[in-house]
Amino acid sequence: MILSTTNNIALKLLAAFFCCICLAACYWAETESNPESLPIDDSMYPYAGLPRIVIETKDFAGIRDRETEIPSHLQIYGEKAPESEVYELTVRGRGNSSFKMPKYGLKLEFKDKVKLFGMPKNRDWALIANYGDKTHLRNYMITRLSEWLGAKYTPRMQFVEVYLNRKYMGLYLLSETIKVAKNRVNIDENDTTFLVEKEDSKKFDPPYVQSDNGYYYHIKSPKNPSPETEQLLLDHINAFENFAMRPYRYNSDEIVDWIDLDDYLLFYWVHEFSKNEDGNFARSVHFTWKKGEPIHFGPLWDFDLAFGNASREQNKAPEEWYIRRYRLNYYLLQNSLIDSAAVDYWKEHRETFKELIDSVPLYRTIIDKAIENEYRRWPVMQNTENWALKDPYGSYDEAVETMIEWMNQRYRWIDNEIGY
């Protein structure tokens, strides 16, 4: 009887023990899937006055490509503590050739819409690495200029520092992505309204159409277009290209039936002033079109290869026209109406372009401390081995001052050519 009682007690104790083990396992599993906070070790990279974005992927999986969406958690840190909840999201690589760089961009897709740093709620965001821009300012500066010139939509951006899987990744730009939404590209979502990106023939994303002239156009909206919808867009693009490429065979004012002139002039001058390599109608050129209406160029995107930071030596000088010499831009600027309007646009807005140059010292103060962390993590200031790191600099100051001088020379050259 005593032995039986002892056995019962032992069995109850053993059951309680295993129950505790199971509860603990469940607790840690739940904590891992919904952590209250993510750890951060900033002993080597101290707080630099910018928000810190901390990301952990499931099982610390590496970012392998631009397609695989990896379940992750994200939290925003201030100087000493978290300043947001822990968000659920997926993370994948982003960028074209830039994704192949040691420091690469990330595409974030949150489980639910989130409002970040005062920017309107959305699920889709991008982290731009700017590895090929040793000033880290070019993409940010263009957003200022785009807004000042009155673009219909300019992606909002915020400088941040990023930790990925408990490793410091460096200084990034958190940016809205270019997509159709009420607070982004605000157009209808139907089968006769399009958001399109001109892409490079070496890399293009489906769904896409290829024009008779060999240009590739990625359809960003509508999603999953039908063959009939794709054909509608392709027919219009072919008609537009064929019209634009015979500038001396039509009345100059007919062009306004095809493009919105104000949008095109803003698009043209920002690319021409910055001498942006991608802006020569090669890639990262966006436009919208609604059946029965003109094409609207914009939003502006991807300016790391601008302001003298060219990958090709022949494009580096601040002199000479660039955008107007290439592809579709060449033909459009042969149109006397556009050419005359372009001269007037520069004269009317030249002070705005000058204000951008004068504002560079202010923008660099935003990231001064983070730059110290960035180049401790990625000491590439004198590196010229990467295709996008062509020019060596002795310091960050030299990189910024070189860009400012290039901008001033470009500004004076355009003024002289315009005859201002």
- 50-60 confidence digits (pLDDT tens): 999 999 999 99
| Residue 21 reports pLDDT greater than 70 | no
Is the pLDDT score of 180 beyond 80?
yes
pLDDT recorded at residue 34 = 64
**307 closest CA partner among 130, 133, 103, 150:** 133
Average pLDDT score over the chain? 91
Q: Residue 213: which residues within 8 A CB-CB, separation 6 or more?
A: 241, 245
Name the pLDDT band for 95 (thresholds 50, 70, 90).
Answer: confident
Residue-level length of the chain: 420
The residue that leads in pLDDT, 312 or 373, is 373
Average pLDDT for 43-69: 96
More confident residue, 276 or 66: 276
User: 262 by DSSP, 3-state: which?
Assistant: helix
pLDDT at 3 over 80: no
Band of pLDDT at residue 201, cut at 50, 70 and 90: confident
| Contacts of residue 218, Cβ cutoff 8 Å, sequence gap at least 6 | 196, 197, 198, 199, 204, 205, 206, 207, 208
* Residue among 185, 231, 237 nearest 215 (CA): 237
Report the share of the chain in percent with pLDDT over 90: 82
- How high is the pLDDT of residue 242? 94
The whole-model pTM stands at 0.90
pLDDT of 252 strictly over 90: no
pLDDT greater than 50 at residue 381 = yes
Angle in degrees, 0-180, between the axes of helices 261-274 and 336-377, rounded to the nearest 10: 50
301-310 pLDDT, tens per residue?
999 999 999 9
In the predicted structure, residue 16 carries a pLDDT above the cut 70? no
pLDDT band at 124 (very low <50, low <70, confident <90, very high): very high
Of 153, 105, 154, nearest to 130 by C-alpha is 105
Q: What is the pLDDT of residue 84?
A: 97
- Percent share of the chain, pLDDT over 70: 91
pLDDT for position 160? 98
Average pLDDT over residues 31-51: 87
* Mean of pLDDT values over 361-377: 98
pLDDT of 365 > 80? The answer is: yes
Sequential DSSP letters for 332-400 = HTTSHHHHHHHHHHHHHHHHHHHHHHHHHHHHHHHHHHHHHHHHHHS--TT---STT-----SSHHHHH
User: Structure tokens of 178?
Assistant: 């270019």
* Alpha carbon distance 40, 75 (integer Å): 10
Answer yes or no: is pLDDT of 349 > 70.
Answer: yes
pLDDT band at 33 (very low <50, low <70, confident <90, very high): low
